[in-house]
């Protein structure tokens, strides 16, 4: 069974991290932003970037062609709702989306806001990994974490009140 190191330093063994999060076994440190019938959205506090969101399906599967019709509709509705909130609440102009089907967890999509400081790592997809590592290693300050958690609170309020 894979061992997962949590952001708070604890280590636990889980079959699938995504199942553990959507099943409530692990509460993401950033808190849950929104839950729908088929999806769950949260922040991974290990990557303290304001407005970053990870959306995970509640069902265990890996590939996009495995989505049911209901899940597809829910996926797009939720995606657009979160994206709108990122723009309206946080002024985020552009977002990078990605997921990889060969994940060791299950189907989840990252929404990584694009900020000016990220261009030092390149303009496109090749910059994503260095950006995330930079955030994890250099931006884990109390001040930045406070900003990130405030963004989570604002997003949570925005997407749960309409």
Least distance from Zn ion to the Cβ atom of residue 60, Å: 4
Nearer to Zn ion, 56 or 86 (CB): 56
Other beta carbons within 10 Å of 137 = 8
Count residues contacting Zn ion (CB under 5 A)?
5
Least distance from Zn ion to the Cβ atom of residue 106, Å: 4
CA distance 124 to 17: 28
What Å distances lie between residue 60 and 18, 19, 35, 105, 106, CA to CA?
Answer: 8, 7, 16, 8, 6
Q: Is 19 in the site for Zn ion (CB under 5 A)?
A: yes
Nearer to Zn ion, 2 or 130 (CB): 2
Strand order in the sheet with 95-98: 32-35, 39-42, 53-57, 108-113, 95-98
Q: Which helix (H) or strand (E) is 161 found in, with range?
A: none
Residue list 35-64, contact with Zn ion (CB under 5 A): 60
Nearer to Zn ion, 18 or 86 (CB): 18
Mask: binding to Zn ion, 84-123, rule CB under 5 A, as x and -? Answer: ----------------------x-----------------
Nearer to Zn ion, 16 or 128 (CB): 16
Least distance from Zn ion to the Cβ atom of residue 1, Å: 13
Q: Is 16 in the site for Zn ion (CB under 5 A)?
A: yes
Q: Output DSSP code: residue 71.
A: H
Question: Which residue, among 53, 46, 54, 44, has the nearest Cα to 9 in the 3D structure?
Answer: 46
54 near 44, Cβ under 8 Å? yes
Nearer to Zn ion, 60 or 81 (CB): 60
Site residues (vs Zn ion, CB under 5 A): 16, 18-19, 60, 106
């Amino acid at each position: 069974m894979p061992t997962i190191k949590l952001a708070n330093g604890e280590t636990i063994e889980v079959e699938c991290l995504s199942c553990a999060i959507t099943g409530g076994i692990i509460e993401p440190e950033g808190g849950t932003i929104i839950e729908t019938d088929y999806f769950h959205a949260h922040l991974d506090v290990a990557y303290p970037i304001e407005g970053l969101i990870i959306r995970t399906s509640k069902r265990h599967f890996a590939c996009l062609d495995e989505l049911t019709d209901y899940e597809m509709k829910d996926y797009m509705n939720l995606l657009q709702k979160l994206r709108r909130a990122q723009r309206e609440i946080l002024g985020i102009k552009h977002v990078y989306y990605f997921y990889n089907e060969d994940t060791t967890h299950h189907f989840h999509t990252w929404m990584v806001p694009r900020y000016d400081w990220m261009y030092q790592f390149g303009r496109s997809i090749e910059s994503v990994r260095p950006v995330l590592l930079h955030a994890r290693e250099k931006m884990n300050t109390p001040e930045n974490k406070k900003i990130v958690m405030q963004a989570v609170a604002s997003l949570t309020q925005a997407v749960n009140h309409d």
